[in-house]
Structure 1
C-alpha cells in the first residue's frame, strides 16, 4: 500500500491545529538509522485507509516528498467524539531485522464444525489478533484459524495454528487460547429435559 506524505517544518500545538484545519493530519516517521521526520498526511485519505484491516498489518510504502521508505503503522490518535485523526506514528522497517507486530485472525469454517452442526455450540473468539515476529518480507496480512474440526467444549490454542513460513507467534506464558466452542446454557438444559 502506498501512502503520500509531506515533510513539515512547523511544530507545536498551533501548527498542528492549522494543519488539521487545512484538512491535513500531523504525523511522524521514526526508527532505523535516520533521524525522525515530522510529516503531514491528507486527512481524508488517512481516515479511510485506517478503516482497512490491511493498513494496520502490512508494510507500507511511504512517499515523503518523492523519497519512498518502507514503514509500519505503529499508533494513531483519534478525537474523542469527532471523526478526526489527530496524529499518526509510523516506524521505519529494516528488511533484514525481525519485527514484532499484531496480525488479525480470520476465523473460517465455523459453520461446518461438529461443535456448531451437531452440538449447537457457539464459537467464542477469545482473541482477534496475534503477536507475531518475522522479517518484513514474511509479514502476513492475516492468519487463518480453521474451526472445521472443533468439537463442543474444545478450544483452539496458538500452538494449533498454521503459521506462514518464517513467522513465529510471540506467546506470553502458557499456550494462549484463540477460540472456544461453548454450548449455550439454554441448549444444555433443554437436552437434560428431553432425557
Structure 2
C-alpha cells in the first residue's frame, strides 16, 4: 500500500461556476468530499500541491488525510478533471473513507520472474491483455500492484484471474467469468525446439566427424 499523505484545505461556502472560476484565478483548485453517509463538503486546495500529487503516481489508489480548517478527514481520491487544452487541474472529487469502507479501484498488474518462463526464453512474447484490473478492496488496504509470477509459463499459456494470488479482502469486480490477464504467444524470433531424435542424431554425427579426423 502506498504511503499516506496530508493535504491542507479551506472550506468554501459559495459553490457554482462563478465561484469555481474565481478560485482557479487565485491559484487554487475547487474540490468536494462526499460519502460515508455524511453531507458533502466543498473545499479549495493548493494548485501546486494537488498537481504534484496527481502527477506523482498512485493518486487514485492512495488514502490521504485532508485538513479542512483544522478538521482532519480521511479520503480516497475518486476522480479529477483536467482542462483539455492546457492540462490544467480543474476539479477533484474525494470519497470520505471510514474504518470499514470498501472501494472499487483499478490496480496495475506487474509481472515477475520473466527469466523463469520457458516460453519467453525461446523468444515468445508476453501479450498483456489487462495492464490494470478493477478490484473491490478495503480502502485502508489498497495494494500498490498485483504481481503475477511467470515461472514455468510456456508458449500458448493463458494467465487467468483465477491463477493469481490476491491479498486478503481483495476481489475482482468482474466475478462472473475467469477473464484473461495475459498470454504468452509465439513469434518469428522463436528458437525452434529440436524434434524427437534430433539431439541424438546430432551427437552421433559429431562422434563420426571426430573419428574421421582421427
Same structural fold, with TM-score higher than 0.5 when normalized by the shorter chain: yes
For residue 31 of structure 1, report the CA deviation from its aligned partner: 0.6
Alignment counterpart, residue 69 of structure 1, candidates 60, 70, 73: 73
Give runs of aligned pairs for residues 21-170 of structure 1, distance below 5 A. Answer: 21-118=25-122, 120-170=123-173
Normalised to the residue count of structure 1, the TM-score between the two structures is 0.87
Partner of 1:187 in structure 2?
A: 189
Gaps of 5+ in 2: 193-214
Normalised to the residue count of structure 2, the TM-score between the two structures is 0.80
Q: Map Cα deviations across residues 79-125 of structure 1 (whole Å, 9 max, x no partner).
A: 1121211111011112123222222222222344222112x111121
Deviates more, 1:120-129 or 1:106-115: 106-115
Structure 1 outlier segments of 4+, above 3 Å: none
3-state SS of 2:58 partner: helix
Deviates more, 1:36-45 or 1:108-117: 108-117
Q: Map Cα deviations across residues 108-159 of structure 1 (whole Å, 9 max, x no partner).
A: 22344222112x1111211122222222233222211222332112121111
Deviates more, 1:3-12 or 1:86-95: 3-12
Cα pair distance change 1:149/1:30, threshold 3 Å: same
Gaps of 5+ in 1: none
Following the alignment from structure 2 to structure 1, what is the Cα–Cα distance between the partners of residues 6 and 119? Answer: 42
For residue 172 of structure 1, report the CA deviation from its aligned partner: 4.4
Following the alignment from structure 2 to structure 1, what is the Cα–Cα distance between the partners of residues 154 and 57? Answer: 30
Partner of 2:13 in structure 1?
A: 9
3-state SS of 2:38 partner: coil
Deviates more, 1:12-21 or 1:134-143: 134-143
Over the aligned positions, Cα root-mean-square deviation in angstroms equals 2.0
Partner of 2:209 in structure 1?
A: none
Count of equivalent residues = 189
Following the alignment from structure 2 to structure 1, what is the Cα–Cα distance between the partners of residues 12 and 151? Answer: 51
Cα pair distance change 1:183/1:79, threshold 3 Å: same
Is the CA contact 2:107–2:133 (under 8 Å) kept in the aligned structure 1? yes
